Structures are given as structure tokens and as C-alpha cells.
Structure 1
Amino acid sequence: MYFEIDRTSHANWQWNETPPELKDGDVALDLEAFAFTANNISYAVAGDMLDYWGFFPANAPWGRVPVMGYGRVVESRNADIEVGGRYFGFYPMTDRHIVAAENSSSGFRDIAPYRANHASVYRSFDLQPSEASAEPDTDHRTLLLRGLFITSWLVDDFLADSDMFGANQVLITSASSKTSIALAHSLRRRGQTTAVGLTSERNRAFVEGLGLYDAVVLYDDLDALDHRAPSVIVDMAGNQTLKADLHARLADLRYSCSVGATHRENLDDAGEIAAPAPEFFFAPTQIQKRSQEWGAEILNERMGAALEEFVADAERWMTVAVSAGRDAVAELYMSTLAGEVSPAVGQIGVLTAAE
């Protein structure tokens, strides 16, 4: 069964009972658990622009939102891939997923024709320890934070590689989102610039309590910003009105980077935005660059060590909540879509009997 949403109206959803068909070369994986955050809503918002809907095609007008999860091979018609292996990768929200698989050094990759134009990182399934961690919360925190942390780590690396564009402050919108928190963590670890978190009054105490931002400014108090300082914007919100306001206020804006879309209600074009024009950050491009410069092994070692540190730190500010079964997963989706989930909660979905 697949959880599908209406691509034209994201509040509409359905369960598709079409049974998956296993062919020669395929593997079938039971999805044991998956993470669901505001990032996944961003995938739906940018589904057409970035072809997230093309990851797991569905009949129009329906779409299948990609999620990061752990799946276990329960049937294999591929001589190179054994039953029982546990893999991390992108999945649809489902109980069982079929992959046209090709063996790789880290596990296997999806070689279905409709995946041909997608970056390798989006098609890879990485072999994991056969059993989940003895501490389920640690396993779940890693699942929740791995993908979004890597994105933020790469943003930080990109900015540092560009000498922060000469800026001494980085303004991060949607400061309570986990992707923003991960970026603040990376910036603080690097110590090259200050991180200013922009947030709402509702989330102010949480953001300040993280201790990761050098300053926290409310959306309705933007006059408190140092508007003369050389600045970079990293926009996780996708709020076009806010972005236009920031561009107009900042006298020395060096670079504007668009990453996410947590503010769904304000995504429409707000008209002309003062220079510099915002540029969309595409993580696979930075991965490819560093893989060529450092080698994939060194890149993975550096990202892995940084992720481990961030996951350990997250224990102090994030509580894991597991939603098991159809009804709970549908509620998980709707509450995230509505922006009703506390930033202090990390949500895991389960559609099999594995947990």
C-alpha cells in the first residue's frame, strides 16, 4: 500500500492498494521505519520543479512523497543482493517497496528507467548493520537527522568554500526547523561567522534554548537586525514576502541561498526582490564537487563524524515520537503539513509490523 497525496492540493490524500510486482533483477524491501519532517513537505512543494514526484511515479493527480528510511530485503530476484539486508535510502511512504537494483560498493542503486536523471545520492541504498541499534531512540534520531544534517553540512561547506562571501553574519530563516538547527550547529562548530536565527514568537524560547544561534530575532522585529553588516541569507522558510523584506533591509547582502519551504502559506511570488538574486542550493552538486576534490571515502568520513556529533547533541533537545499504522501515519502527515508539530519532536512513521 502507498500513501499518496494530491499534487494540486496537498491536504488531500489516499491509500493506494496496488500490489507491487517483482521482476528479474528486483528486490523487495519492507520499510521498517521512516522519518517525516518539514523537509518532506518541501519535497512536495518543489515536487514538479525538482522532480521529487518522479522518484516514485503515481497516476495523476497523485504523488508519492519521498522519505528517508530503513528497509529490509524480504525477497530478491537479484543474485548480488541477499535477503535479510537492511538498507538506508529514499523510499515512498509504503509498507513494501520494489527496486530495480544494481549492486554497488555501499549497497545497491535503483536503476529503474524513471530514476535515470536523478542524482546518484537519491538512488542509493546503503547497507546498514543487520540489527537496529540497541538504543531505538539513537537509531531513530540518526534516521531523522541524517538526510537534513547532510544538506546543512553541505551548505556550511559551500559557504566556507566561498569564504562566506565576505559576510560576518548568516541569517537563517525558520530557525526552529531541524535543517536550520543542523546548519547553526555546523556554523558554530566552524566558528567563522555568527549565526542569526529568525523565528516566530511561538518558537522563540525553544530556539534560544538550543544555544546554537549567536542571536535570535523575531519575524515581527526585523528592525533588531544589524542591517549594515555584510550578510548571507540561508532561507529554509520559502516565505517570499519575508525574503523580499530581508533583501530590502540588508544594506550589504552578499549572497542569498534558498534551501527549504517550511512556510507553505507564503510561497507565492512577492514581486521583484532586491539584488542579489536568490540561488537555490542543490546538495548533490556540492557532494559531486567534494567527491572529486577529496575522494568519496574522505567526504563520507567527514560527514559521518559530524553527523554522529550532531545526533548525540540532539538528545538534549529532541524527543522521538513513533506513529505506527495507517491512521497514525496519515495524522503524522496532516499535522506536519499544518505546521502543528513541536520543533522539539522528531517524528518516525511505521507501516509494517517490524516495530
Structure 2
Amino acid sequence: MHLEIDRRNIRATRLQTTTSRQLIDGEVLLTLERAALTSNNVSYALSGDMLDYWGFFPAEAGWGRLPVMGFGVVTTSHHPDIEVGSRYFGFYPLGDDHVVQAKTSSGGFIDVAPWREKHAMAYRSFDRAAPTANDDAILIFRGLFLTSFLLEDFLRERENLGAKQVIITSASSKTSIALAHCVQRFSDLHVVGLTSAKNVDFTLGVGDYHTVLSYDDVRQLRNDTSIVVDMAGSPNIVADIHRHLTGCVSYSCSVGATHWDAARGGVAVPPPKPEFFFAPSQLAKRGKEWGREELNRRIADALGVFIESTTRWMTIRHTHGADAVAALYGELVAGHVEPSVGNIVSFK
């Protein structure tokens, strides 16, 4: 069974039973043990057609299976080098079982189904993963932290484009907090978070921002050379920032869409034109330059430091059962999940 989303209206979902079939040579069947469900996944749904997230796991026309980061256990294997009972971290469709046409790689295997060939390696790799005490936090943060780590690296590689401050929208979101953490740790930029008025106190209390303002207080931003990182996906917010900082924005980019219902309006944003930051491109670049082993070491070290810092503000909530998971997805789409909560889900 899988949770499927109406591609024309991401609020609409259904639970679709999957017909089992005999595996062919090279295929493995994994049962999704657990997965993280965050606002990042809402961004995947919103960008499903534009970035082909719906192409990861084909479904009936008009419907999409939501990619989630999870741990899965091999329950049936028709691959000689992949054992039943082995456990893997990777992208799964939100549901119970998942069939992969596998090719072994260093540390795991790759999904080599024909429809997966065009997707970035990061999205179709499954890494062998023994259980650890930090499994839940790893699921919640590894994917979104990777985006934040790579964006900070992208900016620092360009000497932060001469900026003195970075302004991050949707500052209470976990991806934004991870970016603020990385910027504070690796550069000397002044880190400013913009969030809704109700989340200002929480966001400031996280400890990764120097300044936190509500969206209504954009005019309090310092007129310094600035980088603008839009995690909200709201052109209205970006336009307000650019207007206030006319001539001071050295770089502007879009990453997420937590304010997804505001992401489709035709709003004129003053220059510079925001660019879309695609993390897999920076990942591939650094993989070639540093080597995969060194890249993974740097990411793991930085992620470990960040996860340790989140224990002071995040509570992990577990949700079990298909109906309860579907209801939680609806809460995320509606924006009703507190930023201090990290959700781990299982159809079991």
C-alpha cells in the first residue's frame, strides 16, 4: 500500500493497494521500516512535475507517490549480492513495500530501473545502514541538512559574494535552521531569520540565528550587502526584501516552498533575479573534486555536530498506520505541525 497524491491538488490523497508480483533477476523487495515526513516532502509534492519527483516511483496517471527518506529492510532478494535482512537508507515511496532493480555499489546499491536513469545519483542510491541510536534524527535531518550544507559550501566557495549578512526566509523550518547553523559555523556572515510572528520566539531560541524578525518587520533589516535565501517559496516575501534592500542584494536564491500555496503567483521581484539552488549539482561537483569518501566524511562530521545541537529544541513524534500517516501529511500541507516537532512515520 502507498500514499498517493493528486498531482493537480496536493491536498488530495488516497491510499492505494499495490498488487504483489514475482520478482525478476536483479530485483529486491524492501519493507519500509520507518521514514521522516517533513515540510521538505511538501516541497517535493509541489515541485513534483517541475523537478520530476513524481518520476521516481511511477503511479497511475494523475497521481504521484511521495519520495521520503527512510530505512528499509530487504524481505525478498533476487540479487545474488544483496541479502535478505540487510538494511538500507535511501529514498522510498511513502508506503509499506518497494521493489528496486538493483546494481551493487560501494556501500550499497543503486536503483537502475529505466525510469530512474535520468535522476541524480543521490536520489537513487541505497546505503547499507546498521541501526543506531540516532536513526530518527538522521532520517529527519540527513536529506535537508545535505541541502543546507551544500548551499553554504556553494556560497563560501564564492566568498559569500561579498555579502555581510544572509537573510533566510521560513526561518523556523528545519532546512533553514540547518543552513543558519552551517553559516554560523563556517563563515562570519550575520545570519538573519524571517518567520511568522508566532514562530519568532521559537526560532530565536534555537540559537542558530543572530537576528530573527517577523515578515511584517522586513523594514528592520540592515541595509548591508546581503544574500537572500528563500525557503518559503513566496515571491511576495522575496519582493519585499529586495525592495527594502534595493542595491544591496548581491545574490538571491530559492530552495524550498514551505509557503507552497503562495508559490504560484505572478509577482514581479526586483533584481537580482532569484536563482534556483539544486543541491545535487553541488554534490556531484564536490564528489569529483574531493572524492566520495572525503565528501561523505565532511557531511557526516557536520551532520553529527548539527544533530547534537537539535536535542535542545526538537521533540520526535512517531506515527504508525497508513491512515494516521495520511492524516499527518494533511497536517503538514495545512501548516499545522509545530516547528519543534520531527515526525517519523511507518505504515505498520
> If the TM-score is normalised by the length of the shorter chain, which range does it land in?
over 0.9
Q: Give the Cα separation in 1 of the matches to 2:218 and 2:239.
A: 12
Please tell me whether residue 232 in structure 1 is matched to residue 230 in structure 2.
no
Structure 1, unaligned stretches of length 5 or more? none
Structure 2: segments with no counterpart, 5+ residues: none
* Separation of aligned partners in 2, 1:34 and 1:25: 25
Deviations 1:153-199 (A, max 9, x none): 00000000011010010000000000000001101111321110001
Which residue pairs with 2:5 in the alignment?
A: 5
Which amino acid letter does the alignment assign opposite residue 98 of structure 1? V
Report the secondary structure of 2:331's partner residue.
Answer: helix
How far apart, in 1, do the equivalents of 2:204 and 2:142 lie?
A: 23
Contact map agreement 1:20 1:98 (CA 8 A) in 2: no
Letter in 1 for 2:93: P
In the TM superposition, residue 294 of structure 1 has moved relative to its aligned partner by: 1.1
Give the aligned partner of residue 246 of structure 1. 241
Matched letter for residue 85 of structure 1 = S
Alignment partner of 1:96 is 2:105: no
The one-letter code sitting in structure 1 at the alignment partner of 2:115 is: Y
- 1:32 is aligned to 2:33: yes
Partner residue of 1:167? 163
Deviation readout 1:279-323 (Å, 9 max, x if unpaired): 101111101111111111111100000001111111111000000
In the alignment, residue 173 of structure 1 is paired with which amino acid?
T
Letter in 2 for 1:92: P
1:351 corresponds to which residue? 347
Residue 63 of structure 2 corresponds to residue 68 of structure 1: no
Report if the CA contact (8 A) 1:320-1:347 is conserved: yes
Identity of aligned residues (%): 51
Offset at 1:245? 1.5
Letter in 2 for 1:64: R
How many Å separate the matches in 2 of 1:174 and 1:107?
Answer: 35
For 2:229, the aligned partner's letter is: V
Distance 1:327 1:202 in 2: 29
- The CA deviation at 1:271 is 2.9
What is the CA-CA distance between 1:269 and the residue it aligns to?
3.0
Structure 2 distance, partners of 1:312, 1:75, is 36
TM-score for the superposition, normalised by structure 2: 0.98
Deviation (angstroms), 1:69: 0.1
Deviations 1:181-224 (A, max 9, x none): 00011011113211100011111110010111010111011111
Q: Does 1:267 align with 2:263?
A: yes
Aligned-residue offset at 1:106: 1.6
Distance 2:135 2:118 in 1: 31
Provide the residue aligned with 1:121 in structure 2: 122
SS in 2 for 1:82: coil
Match of 1:18 in 2: 18
Residue 153, structure 1, aligned to residue 149, structure 2: yes
Matched, 1:332 2:328: yes
Q: What corresponds to 1:213 in structure 2?
A: 209
Residues 56 and 64 of structure 1 are in contact (CA less than 8 Å); yes or no, is this contact kept in structure 2? yes
Structure 2 Cα separation of the partners of residues 61 and 69 of structure 1 = 25
Q: Partner of 1:205: helix, strand, or coil?
A: helix
2:213 match: secondary structure = strand
Contact preservation (8 Å) 1:20, 1:97: no
Q: Secondary structure at the match of 1:49?
A: coil
Where does residue 185 of structure 1 map in the other structure? 181
1:9 partner letter: N
Q: Classify the secondary structure of the residue corresponding to 1:316.
A: coil
TM-score with structure 1 length normalisation? 0.96
Any idea what the Cα deviations from partners look like across 1:26-75, whole Å, max 9, x if unmatched? Answer: 00001000001000000011111100000001112111110000000011
Is 1:204–2:220 an aligned residue pair? no
- 1:18 deviates by 2.1
Supply the distance in 2 between the matched residues of 1:104 and 1:27 (Cα, whole angstroms): 15
Give the match's secondary structure for 2:74: strand
Cα RMSD between the aligned structures?
A: 0.9
Distance 1:213 1:119 in 2: 32
The letter for the 2-side match of 1:242 is I
- d(CA) in 1 for partners of 2:326, 2:299: 32
Structure 2 CA distance for aligned equivalents of residues 305 and 233 of structure 1: 27
Determine the C-alpha separation between the residues in 2 that align with 1:18 and 1:182.
Answer: 36
CA contact (8 A) 2:192 2:209 kept: yes
Moved more, 64-73 or 288-297: 288-297
Contact 2:95 2:322 in 1 (8 A): no
Alpha-carbon separation, structure 1, partners of 2:20 and 2:253: 39
Q: Assess if the C-alpha contact under 8 Å between 2:156 and 2:187 holds in 1.
A: no
Give the Cα separation in 1 of the matches to 2:267 and 2:190.
30
CA separation in 2, counterparts of 1:30 and 1:335? 25
Determine if contact 1:241/1:270 at 8 Å carries over to the other structure: no
1:37-56 alignment runs, 5 A limit:
37-56=38-57
The answer to whether the aligner puts 1:112 opposite 2:113 as a matched pair is yes
1:99-138 CA deviation, whole Å, 9 max, x = no partner?
A: 0000000200000000010001100000011xx22x3xx2
